[in-house]
Every structure is written in structure tokens, then in C-alpha cells.
Amino acid sequence: MAGLSTRHLLGIKDLDRNDIEKIFETADNFKTVLNRPIKKVPSLRDVTIANIFFENSTRTRLSFELAEKRLSADVVNFAASSSSVSKGETLIDTVNNILAMKVDMVVMRHPYAGAGIFLSKHVNAQIVNAGDGAHEHPTQALLDAFSIRERYGDVEGKKVVIVGDILHSRVALSNILCLKQLGAEVMVCGPTTLIPKYIGSLGVKVEHDLRKALNWCDVANMLRIQLERQDIKYFPSLREYTMMFGLNKQILDSLDKEITVMHPGPINRGVEITSDVADSKQSIILDQVENGVAIRMAVLYLLAGQAV
Amino acid sequence: MQNLTLLDGQKFQITIQRLCRQLIENHNDFSNSVLIGVQPRGIYLAKRVAEELRKILPDSTIEQGDLDITFYRDDFRRQGAPLVPNQTRIDFIIEGKKVIMMDDVLWTGRTIRAAMDALQAFGRPEKVELLALVDRRYSRHIPVSADYVGIEVDSIASQKVVVSWKETDGEDRIVLVSEVKED
């Protein structure tokens, strides 16, 4: 088997269908490893990985760190808030200093779109994008699609609606690209102000009525309203948003079929999704988190394997 | 390419039978022993041996599993591309059991070293033994030797030993393949 067609994982945009399927097959194997009494394999024992997070994260960072440790890689963590970045160091300088300590791979989250791409052109390490601004979050999209594949056996032909703040969401963009690549039908649903004007050019449907969207879909991926990225008011109030676009048990039960509910986390319970839906058997939110570690192990394994 | 058949047909079957009898000598009714085939090619051997043992010992339960060693290999990042993993299927407990590991060809011994590492993730067996259908002598990189051997072969590094199975390749056969140099 050849490796992935790319040296870095900067976005789903760089992956072809073959790459995605290769990642899924490898993740299947790692998922069995994660269910053993000893969850560790020695594959990456001579690889050092730096997790550089310029933006807050719990789930993604923990998931990457566990994936790295279960592959036996050496791990260093770095959070921008407690570092020299606050003293005025540039991104390239920061990363080059870390690489001077013999680091092979960098997992980076950054508030600016394209930060990973920029870095990959200037430093000599493999870069894995763990989220760059409102641009891409490739491993999240991969684990979402992997969870759909696990639930239904295949992603091809499935109907997925992504509900919420599409405008500020890197999860939405990566998900759309990944699901389209795998042959799913994708719809976005949200207030007009939070749907980018030209989203149709990605080949997705647009719907502003949540009930219609849910009646159409097999899977609903509920996104969080990213208030931290909203510098102006995009809707009158959170309460109004919840009334129009929040998923509750009543709507879910009124549908004539049983759909699957996903959420990339962190959940704002009572805003985009109510507690009884988030904890229902139709929700695969915790499966997504579990699959996240296997997917990240697969990505790191496949990328590390091609660099000598 | 020059192919020399080392074993086929009835002789192949006799060799498998002999290995089974040797196993029974040491493991009695297999109540505390399990068979594990090493992926990718050792699993066919383990399946065949298990099948024969079930014929000889119809009252015994013969447990047989597949072990993938990809993530334990020592040549990761030393090849052009990542190694493809295979499935691991071990649906029984190996803690305290006698494990008989099986591979079709024992050559450098590196696969078996990785397999012993991989096996540890499943517990602490009482004992681990190795059964190899073909032992390529004098070519070991690591001090590993088999407890049960089908046939021994003297070969050079450029030659290959290929084992085919009735179930997957249409016939039982062991072939020594040599590259012929063109002058």
C-alpha cells in the first residue's frame, strides 16, 4: 500500500476518496487495539510530536495526546497562553525553535485560517491541522464520517444535514468536503445570516426550516453557536435561535423515521440541542469521541510511515 | 524465474499430519492450549492444522486465532510507505494458556519477534511455542528457532519460498523461487 497522497494533513481538501478510505480501514484496526486490555502499540516509538495549541481545546487536544501516546510517540504539549508567543515571537520562530529540539510532527490549532498551510511551507516537519480558524478541522470531519459509516455501514448515499453556525464553523466546511468526497448528500440548515452566501457552490442544499431538514435527512449534525467568533449580532437572541433551530425530543419524536444525532462538542445543552436528545439512544455523540482517538491514531500512523 | 517445488500433494498432507501428531504429543487434548496464526500467511496454516486436529480429536475444543503484527514491526518508517495492517481475531483468553504460534515460513525471525510483542497485549501465556511449515535455515537475523518444523530448506537471500494453500490458491504447494540472472 502506498501512503496518503499528502505529506501533511492540512485539510480534507487535500485528500482524495482513496486516502479517506485508507484512513478508515487503518482506524478500524486501531479501534480493535483500543478495546484490548493493553491499548498501546510501539509503532511510533522513534517519533516525537509537538501539540501546539494557540486556541483553547479540551477534546481535540486530549484525543490527539492519547492517540500519540497509544502509538508510543514522545509527546510535548504547548499552549500559547503560557508561552513566548505572548512576548511577541512569530509563528515560524516559535515552531522552528520547537523543531530545533528534534520534533518530527506538529499538531497545531490556530485561530487564523490557513495557519497550518503557511507553516507547512516554511518549516521542515509534518503538520497536522487540529483546526485553523473558521477554515478546516479535518480530523473532526474524518471521525464524523467514520461514525456514520459505523452506524450505517456506508456513507455513500446517506443524507446528512449540518445545522447551526455554518459561517463560523471549520467543522462544517471539513464535514461538507469529506461527506461529498464519500458520496453522501449534504444539506446545511440555519438562520440566513449564518449560512455563507455561496455555500451552494460546494454542492450542498440549503434549508432554513429545521423540521423540513430533519424530515429529509438520515443524520443531523448539530453545531454549536460560536459566540466567541461572532463580532456582530447574527440573530436577535439565543432563545430565539433555540426556538427556531434547537433540536428537542418533541421534534425528534414527531418525525416519521428515526434519525441519528451527532454533535462535535462542546455541547451547549438547551441551546442547539436539549439534554434528553443529547443523551438519547439516537445520539452517537460519545461514539464520535471514542472514534476520534482511533481516527487520529490512523492519521498519525499513515503520515509518520511515509517520512523517513 | 526458476521454480523448484519442495513439497506438494500427498507429501504436503503427510507433513501437516505429522505436525499435528507432534502437537498432540505435547498438548494432549488441547484443553489448555491455543493455536495462533500470524497474519498474513500464517493464518492459513493455523486454520489447516486446527481443522486436522479437530478430525483427529473430535471431542476436543481447538481454539484458533489470527494475530496481526503490523504495529509491532521494527521496519516502520524504514520503508517507502506505511505497512498495511490486517485483522486480529483472538476471541479467547490466552492468560495462562500454552500458545502455539504458527507461520508459514520462518526466515529472518523478525516477524516472530514482533509477534511475541504483539501477543503480550493479550495477556501472559504460560508458554509460547513456534510452529513453522518451512524453516529457511542459516538466514536468521535474530536468535529465534521453531519447536515444530515442517521442512527445512537451505536457500540464499535472493530466493523466495512461496507457500500456496488449497483454500485460497487452489493447491497445496511449497515452491522455492529463484531469480535467474540474464547475462
Report all structural domains of chain B as residue ranges with CATH numbers, in order of start. 7-74+85-157 (3.40.50.2020)
Instruction: Report the C-alpha gap between B121 and B116 in whole angstroms.
Output: 9
Closest CB to B83: pick one of A42, A71, A305: A305
Q: What is the pLDDT of residue A19?
A: 95
User: Would you say A296 and A288 are in contact if contact means Cβ atoms under 8 Å apart?
Assistant: no
Q: Where are the domains of chain A?
A: 12-136+289-306, 138-284
Q: Which tens digits make up the pLDDT trace of B36-86?
A: 999 889 999 999 999 999 999 999 899 999 999 999 988 887 777 777 888
- Is B120 touching A (CB cutoff 8 A)? yes
CB atoms within 10 A of CB A220: 28
Q: Which three cell numbers stand for residue A274?
A: 436539549
Instruction: Report the C-alpha gap between B75 and B141 in whole angstroms.
Output: 13
A169 Rama class: left (phi>0) / alpha (psi -120 to 50) / beta = beta
Q: Which residues of A touch B85 (CB under 8 A)?
A: 25-26, 29
What band does B181 get if pLDDT is binned at 50, 70 and 90? low
Closest CB to B71: pick one of A41, A302, A308: A41
Q: Does domain A12-136+289-306 have CATH number 3.40.50.1370?
A: yes
Q: For chain A, how many residues are written?
A: 308
Q: Which three cell numbers stand for residue A140?
A: 473532526
Choose among A122, A209, A116, A125: nearest CA to A170: A116
What does each of the 308 residues of chain A score in pLDDT, given as a tens digit?
567 889 999 999 999 999 999 999 999 999 999 988 888 999 999 899 999 999 888 889 999 999 999 999 999 998 877 666 667 788 888 888 888 888 999 999 999 999 999 999 988 899 999 999 999 999 999 999 999 999 999 999 999 999 999 999 999 999 999 999 999 999 999 999 999 999 999 999 999 999 999 999 999 999 998 877 777 788 888 899 999 999 999 999 999 899 999 999 899 999 999 999 999 999 999 999 999 999 999 999 999 988 65
Show the CA angle centred on residue B49, arms to residues B45 and B51, nearest 5°.
115
Q: Which fold has domain A138-284?
A: Rossmann fold (3.40.50)
Closest CB to B72: pick one of A1, A26, A42: A42
Instruction: Report the C-alpha gap between A292 and A63 in whole angstroms.
Output: 6
Identical fold for domains A12-136+289-306 and A138-284, yes or no, is yes
The pTM score is: 0.86
Higher pLDDT, A99 or B103: B103
- Is B90 touching A (CB cutoff 8 A)? no
Which residues on adjacent β-strands are paired with residue B151? Answer: B134
Q: What is the pLDDT of residue A79?
A: 82
Q: Which three cell numbers stand for residue B74?
A: 521494527
Instruction: Report the C-alpha gap between A107 and B39 in whole angstroms.
Output: 32
Choose among B1, B55, B45: nearest CA to B19: B45
